[in-house]
C-alpha cells in the first residue's frame, strides 16, 4: 500500500512539475518578451520595425510565431528579408536585410530607386549620380526586360558599373548600355554575363563609339 501511494505521489509530483514548466514557458509573462532587439537596419528606423513586428511586451517568448513576425516585417517596402530568433530569458532578436537601390527609373516628375529584384524602394526628385538610369517600357519585378537589365548591372565589375550612365532594355534580349563618356555597348541578352563583362573590360581600352559583346565569340568594335 505504501508503495502504491508512493507511486501516486511521484506521479502527481511529476505532473505538477511538468505543468509548472509548461505554464512558466508558454503562459507566464516570467519568460515573456521584455526586449525586441533590431539589427541590420540602416535606413528603416528600429521603432518602425518593432511596430510592424507587432509583439506585445510580456508575450511568452516561446509562443511568438517567428514566421508570422517575419512576414509582417517584410511588409515594409525597404526591407528585403527578416529573420526572427529568441534569446532567453526575454529577448526577441530581429535581423533585417534592407533593399539596396541598384538603379534609377524615371517616374513622373521624379525618379524611383529600384533594387536588384525590380522592387521600387523609394521615389526622389533626382537620381543619385552613382546609379545607372534604366530605360524600360514596363519596369517592375514581373517584367523580363527589367530582370535582364538588372542582371546585366549585377554582372558588371564594380569599377565598370560606376561608368554606366544608362541601361536600355526594349526587351530581355536587346539590352544596351550607355557609358558616362558617351560610348555605347550592345550587350544583348543575359546569357554568358561573366564572359561579356570580361571581354568588355578589355575592349574599352580601344577607342571606339560602339562595342558589341552580344555574341562573346564574335565581338565587334565600331
Chain segment 167-209, per-residue pLDDT in tens: 999 999 999 999 999 999 999 999 999 999 999 999 999 999 9
Distance CA 114, CA 120 (A): 4
Is residue 1 scored above 60 in pLDDT?
A: no
In this prediction, residues 114-121 reach a mean pLDDT of: 94
**Neighbour count for residue 188 (Cβ, 10 Å):** 20
Helix, coil or strand: residue 123: strand
Scanning the structure block, which residue is given the C-alpha cell 559583346?
213
- Mean pLDDT, all residues of the chain: 88
For 48-73, the pLDDT digits (tens) are: 999 999 999 999 998 999 999 999 99
Supply the pLDDT for residue 7. Answer: 53
Q: In the chain, what percentage of residues exceed pLDDT 70?
A: 86
Looking only at the bridges linking them, the beta strands covering 120-124 and 133-135 are unpaired
SS3 80: strand
CA distance 139 to 91: 41
- Find out whether 82 and 92 touch, Cβ atoms under 8 Å: no
Q: What are phi and psi of 155, to 5 degrees?
A: -85, -15
Q: How far apart are CA 117 and CA 51, in angstroms?
A: 25
Number of alpha carbons in the 13 Å side-chain half-sphere of residue 37: 9
Amino acid at each position: 500500500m505504501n508503495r502504491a501511494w508512493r507511486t501516486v505521489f511521484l506521479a502527481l509530483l511529476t505532473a505538477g512539475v511538468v505543468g509548472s514548466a509548461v505554464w512558466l514557458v508558454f503562459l507566464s509573462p516570467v519568460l515573456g518578451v521584455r526586449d525586441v532587439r533590431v539589427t541590420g537596419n540602416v535606413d528603416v528606423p528600429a521603432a518602425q520595425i518593432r511596430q510592424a513586428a507587432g509583439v506585445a511586451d510580456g508575450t511568452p517568448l516561446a509562443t511568438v510565431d517567428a514566421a508570422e513576425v517575419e512576414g509582417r516585417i517584410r511588409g515594409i517596402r525597404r526591407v528585403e528579408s527578416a529573420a526572427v530568433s529568441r534569446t532567453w530569458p526575454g529577448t526577441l532578436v530581429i535581423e533585417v536585410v534592407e533593399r539596396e537601390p541598384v538603379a534609377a527609373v524615371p517616374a513622373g516628375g521624379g525618379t524611383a530607386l529600384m533594387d536588384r529584384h525590380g522592387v521600387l524602394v523609394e521615389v526622389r526628385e533626382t537620381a543619385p549620380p552613382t546609379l545607372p538610369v534604366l530605360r524600360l517600357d514596363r519596369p517592375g519585378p514581373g517584367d523580363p526586360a527589367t530582370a535582364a537589365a538588372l542582371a546585366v548591372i549585377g554582372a558588371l565589375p564594380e569599377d565598370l558599373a560606376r561608368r554606366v550612365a544608362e541601361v536600355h532594355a526594349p526587351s530581355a534580349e536587346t539590352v544596351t548600355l550607355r557609358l558616362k563618356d558617351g560610348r555605347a555597348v550592345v550587350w544583348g541578352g543575359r546569357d554568358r554575363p561573366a564572359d561579356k563583362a570580361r571581354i568588355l573590360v578589355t575592349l574599352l581600352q580601344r577607342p571606339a563609339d560602339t562595342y558589341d559583346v552580344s555574341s562573346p565569340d564574335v565581338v565587334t568594335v565600331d
